[in-house]
Chain A
């Protein structure tokens, strides 16, 4: 072979490899510093551990402040004092359009509490130092699982789940898990946050189990084939308090890239890393003051193959078959469309978000607040903002819709006692009267005894499942007649918001000119013959 050609071939390969390396570097997983402690060498973690609290007690022997820190966080208190609205929010207080309220459904709902044994939400969470759950966030084995009905505990005996399935959940090897603890990864956060609303993907639409190991197309940051971000790479923490709140969102970060000494080092906004002018094209940067990054870079949600609920009509719950047995119906995709326990559902995948102005403040219709029942749907929460407000940007939302029980006389929403092995819970007794009365009795919230159902909406900001740049929403998806911004108002969207009268007058003038030209030209043709004579 000609040595020159050989040379050329190697050169080519070198170029190809260099390009490949550059590309790989560009998207290589974020590197983590090595740990300074090997927990498998700690005698305190040798076990065996009877109960999960015993592991926590061992953790706290070295991490002396961790328990106290955690008990001050929203993850623990389920309370949030909203600085803008003055409302007290948090899982302790809010009602949502899924299962209603956590209160009166404790052992089920508090299975996601970051502690052990919160059986009664009328009381604060258990106060013991070792009631904090370290493992749910720091397990690296995937074996630790807070059993759904044990108020935060894993099971300590073999236990059937789901009920009636015949599948037995074995108690986890707590000592093994304790010796392998590490930093939180996606699966840790996901063990609760992926399953909000009762099952995988139900609640958020942009958080489901597909994010445990997403493709780069699904989430360019979190993909193991991309940057392999953990949740905590953006949701940074400070003494166990995690940044990034859905009640008070940083809807328009004007600080830009967070640099030590200049800002607070929280990175729960895109701008924290990407800055305030992230695009090479200046026209795209012209958008960032009015359009949230998520609006273009999350073209659709529920993209990972896990459907999310979009409609939940509680009013039909309780219907039983001829033998008095609960009914389960499936839709074309095999997702439940009716359950006697829960009513009618609709699910969706690859859903285009709805868009609204958002300044970050979310106000709730709390359970005691009077509703405007003459104007359904009732907004369970309202996202504040408008085009006139410079702190607002256009954000994408999943809008959850459905029907929920309300007190006809008091005109307020009602807490529902759905879960419990008792003779009042809806899921066991299929009787609304009992379930709502129990909801009132258990929570102490007033109830007239007369109920009906009202349509509700609830806004869920979409901020995960960020697609690669090339999959971002096309300009024409908003700048066109059939626009994602249709009906938004408060902003002039070129290509969409044109004045219809200008169009009518303009095209009339053009048509009149063309008509005049045609008439004149025809006359010229006709008279040309006569002129010739």
Chain B
């Protein structure tokens, strides 16, 4: 067993503030959409807009961090072991099998996580932002854009992406409870440190 810094300080700050902002955005967003009726529309719009800008700023920092630290490599997808992980979550977890993936700080996401997070980062988030910014600046669309796009279409895409986000959040929160104990995966996300059974093999990141 060894105690390893799995999630660096910025990474944790990014994760939890992003989580908070996403919850705020989902809550206010579904109020704006009309699925919820708990907030005044104007309040929902103001908070939603503010949280969206905050998330964008956070992401700018996060993108910078990922590229300067090389942490973006954590999300390179791999098929190797993917089915083993899927098999584990579908069957192995009930039969008492060990998790097939051995994480290190250099490769901390299992193949399924990598796919999920990559989808989150390259599909859901960009779609939600692009459509959200188009939505926000609807009145300033240049004529060519206004001719090709409608607010209705933008709203549809934005809301569809929001549903995808909600599905992601539900699945993500649930799967975070699937460590050895319910909090085993969550604790390192807070403290940064994780107990690994095999010692860290420094210097040779798994690709």
Q: Which residues of A contact B (CB under 8 A)?
A: 283, 285-286, 289, 474-476, 479-481, 492, 494-499, 502-503, 505-507, 509-510, 513-514, 516-517, 520-521, 523-524, 527, 530-531
Determine which of B41, B151, B159, B164 lies in contact with A480 in the assembled complex, contact meaning CB atoms within 8 Å.
Answer: B41
Q: Which residues of B contact A (CB under 8 A)?
A: 32-35, 37, 40-42, 45, 49, 93-96, 138-139, 150-152, 155-156, 159-160, 162-164, 166-167, 170-171, 174, 177-178
Please report the C-alpha to C-alpha distance between residue A513 and residue B169 in the assembled complex, in whole angstroms: 10
Q: B153 — nearest CB in chain A belongs to which residue? A: A492
In the complex, what residues of A have CB within 8 A of residue B96's CB? 527, 530-531
Q: A479 — nearest CB in chain B belongs to which residue? A: B41
In the complex, what residues of B have CB within 8 A of residue A496's CB? 34
Additional 5 contacts, C-beta under 8 A, given A507-B163, A516-B171: A286-B139, A480-B37, A521-B177, A524-B178, A531-B95
Q: Is A479 touching B32 in the complex (CB atoms < 8 A)?
A: yes
Closest Cβ of chain B to A456, distance in Å, is 35
Q: Is B174 touching A517 in the complex (CB atoms < 8 A)?
A: yes
In the complex, what residues of A have CB within 8 A of residue B170's CB? 510, 513-514, 517
Main secondary structure of the interface of A (DSSP, over half): helix
Count of inter-chain pairs, beta carbons less than 8 A? 89
In the complex, what residues of B have CB within 8 A of residue A494's CB? 32-33, 151, 155
**Most central of A476, A497, A514, A523 by chain B CB within 10 Å:** A476
Question: Quick one: given A474-B41, A479-B41, are A492 and B32 in contact (CB under 8 Å)?
Answer: no
Please report the C-alpha to C-alpha distance between residue A505 and residue B160 in the assembled complex, in whole angstroms: 9
Please report the C-alpha to C-alpha distance between residue A506 and residue B158 in the assembled complex, in whole angstroms: 12
Q: Is A524 touching B94 in the complex (CB atoms < 8 A)?
A: yes
In the complex, what residues of A have CB within 8 A of residue B151's CB? 492, 494
Sample 9 A-B pairs with CB under 8 A, ordered by A number: A481-B34, A481-B37, A495-B32, A505-B163, A521-B174, A521-B177, A524-B94, A531-B95, A531-B96
Q: Is A499 touching B37 in the complex (CB atoms < 8 A)?
A: no
Question: Quick one: given A481-B34, A510-B166, are A497 and B45 in contact (CB under 8 Å)?
Answer: no
Closest Cβ of chain A to B115, distance in Å, is 16
Determine which of B94, B155, B163, B177 lies in contact with A492 in the assembled complex, contact meaning CB atoms within 8 Å.
Answer: B155
Q: Is B159 touching A286 in the complex (CB atoms < 8 A)?
A: no
Q: B93 — nearest CB in chain A belongs to which residue? A: A524
In the complex, what residues of B have CB within 8 A of residue A503's CB? 35
In the complex, what residues of B have CB within 8 A of residue A520's CB? 174
Q: Is B32 touching A527 in the complex (CB atoms < 8 A)?
A: no
In the complex, what residues of A have CB within 8 A of residue B162's CB? 506
Q: Is B167 touching A498 in the complex (CB atoms < 8 A)?
A: no
In the complex, what residues of A have CB within 8 A of residue B150's CB? 492
Please report the C-alpha to C-alpha distance between residue A497 and residue B155 in the assembled complex, in whole angstroms: 10
Determine which of B45, B95, B159 lies in contact with A498 in the assembled complex, contact meaning CB atoms within 8 Å.
Answer: B159
Q: Is B42 touching A286 in the complex (CB atoms < 8 A)?
A: no
In the complex, what residues of A have CB within 8 A of residue B163's CB? 502, 505-507, 509-510
Question: Quick one: given A496-B34, A513-B167, are A476 and B42 in contact (CB under 8 Å)?
Answer: yes
Closest Cβ of chain B to A516, distance in Å, is 8
Q: Is B160 touching A517 in the complex (CB atoms < 8 A)?
A: no
Q: Is A283 touching B45 in the complex (CB atoms < 8 A)?
A: yes
Q: B140 — nearest CB in chain A belongs to which residue? A: A286
Q: Is B41 touching A495 in the complex (CB atoms < 8 A)?
A: yes
Q: Is B45 touching A475 in the complex (CB atoms < 8 A)?
A: yes
Please report the C-alpha to C-alpha distance between residue A286 and residue B135 in the assembled complex, in whole angstroms: 12
Question: Quick one: given A476-B40, A479-B41, are A506 and B160 in contact (CB under 8 Å)?
Answer: yes
Determine which of B138, B152, B167 lies in contact with A286 in the assembled complex, contact meaning CB atoms within 8 Å.
Answer: B138
Q: B166 — nearest CB in chain A belongs to which residue? A: A510
Please report the C-alpha to C-alpha distance between residue A498 and residue B42 in the assembled complex, in whole angstroms: 17
Q: Is A523 touching B94 in the complex (CB atoms < 8 A)?
A: yes
Q: B138 — nearest CB in chain A belongs to which residue? A: A286
Q: B33 — nearest CB in chain A belongs to which residue? A: A498
In the complex, what residues of A have CB within 8 A of residue B95's CB? 527, 531
In the complex, what residues of A have CB within 8 A of residue B93's CB? 524, 527
Q: B39 — nearest CB in chain A belongs to which residue? A: A476
Closest Cβ of chain A to B154, distance in Å, is 9
